[in-house]
Structure formats: C-alpha cells, structure tokens
Chain A
Amino acid sequence: DSGVTQTPKHLITATGQRVTLRCSPRSGDLSVYWYQQSLDQGLQFLIQYYNGEERAKGNILERFSAQQFPDLHSELNLSSLELGDSALYFCASSRGDGNTIYFGEGSWLTVV
C-alpha cells in the first residue's frame, strides 16, 4: 500500500459524459501528479500540482482539467468523453523535488 488513495477504482461511462477522479496523496506529500496509461499511448504525464498550485502540464487535453485543494487532495475532471479516453489514470504524490514518487492503484475508465 503506497498510501496514495484513488477513487473510483473502476468506472464505465458513455461518450459525451463527464467524470471526476479523486486522489488523496500520502500524508505530508505536497506534490500530486496525474498520468494516463493506455495500450497504444503508453504512460503519459498529464499534470503536476505542488501545494495547491499548478506546476507543469504535459499531454493533457483541453477537455481535461485538474485542481489541488487546500487539504492537498486532487481531482481530475474529464469531460466530453470519447472512446479514446478509455485508459488507466494514475495519481502519484511526493514530498517534493527529488523525492520518491508514490503511485496510487489507478482508476480504470472505460468509455462506451
């Protein structure tokens, strides 16, 4: 158990819908990262937050947005879902730069 909690573990939704994935980082970790992993695209970095502020954006679509709240939990919002958004979404956290990054178990999203 990494200490990073992601919910929900699995969800199935229809195209065009909107979902929210939630992540609770390890206690004391200020950085939260979001990643997408799919068979054809591999592991992709989406976005990083540090202590509530957005730090870097990767290959995150405009239909996707994220935020980190004052209690440091984070949410990834995926809207206007397409079949190609079906993937495993990981959240990870770390204390800060150069520290070990701990991954949650992921949220499986299936868009039908």
Chain B
Amino acid sequence: QQPVQSPQAVILREGEDAVINCSSSKALYSVHWYRQKHGEAPVFLMILLKGGEQKGHEKISASFNEKKQQSSLYLTASQLSYSGTYFCGTEIEAYKYIFGTGTRLKVLA
C-alpha cells in the first residue's frame, strides 16, 4: 500500500537534473511532495490535485498521472541546497495520506 519511490538514492553534480518517481497501487486523490534535510522537519514543496496537473516551484516541478497512479518530481539545474530526502505523500482516501519510501538525493559541488 505504501507508494514506491524510485530511485532510492541518487548522487548528482551541481547543475545536473534528476527525476524522482512515486508509484501507487491505489487510485489517488492528490499527491504532495516534501523535502527533508537530516535532523530537520519536512518542508512541503507542492501539491498536485488533478490528474495530469503539473506545478512548478523555482527549478523544481512535478507532474501527476492519475491514470497511471504516478507522480514525478523534476529537479533541474540542481543546487547544493537540494540535497535531502524527498518524500511523496499520496492521498488514497479523502484526507488520508500515505508516504512513499523516500529518495535520498545528494548534490555534490
């Protein structure tokens, strides 16, 4: 039932791009994306409410394919500050959320 994220971990050089995927076995009402740095609270990045919706946040954007029950997070021209663990939060019933397995991302100078 827990959504599966891929890849589990990724290492990038500054300026490189990355894609993080979140796949659910259940139909989704919405998808949230969060970033959490070690020892800190998660930071909400964005919510995608409708199938096919794409949203952007600085150089971070995401898409939601409702039919495939998938969401992808796109990180372009990565910066050192992008390092952390990324979680998708999937709304599987109204207002009920399950978080993905997490993707650890490390950006190197």
Contacts and interface: CB of A to CB of B under 8 A. Distances in A.
A57 interface: yes
Interface residues of A, number: 20
A58 B49 contact: no
Interface string B23-60: 00000000010001000111110010100000000000
A105 B41 contact: yes
A43 B101 CA distance: 8
Q: Chain A binding site: helix, strand, loop or mixed by DSSP?
A: strand
Contacts of B2: 42
A56 B93 contact: yes
Contacts of B36: 43
B84 interface: no
A52 to B, nearest CB: 15
Interface string A43-79: 1110010000001111000000000000000000000
Interface of A: 2, 42-45, 48, 55-58, 90, 92, 98, 100-106
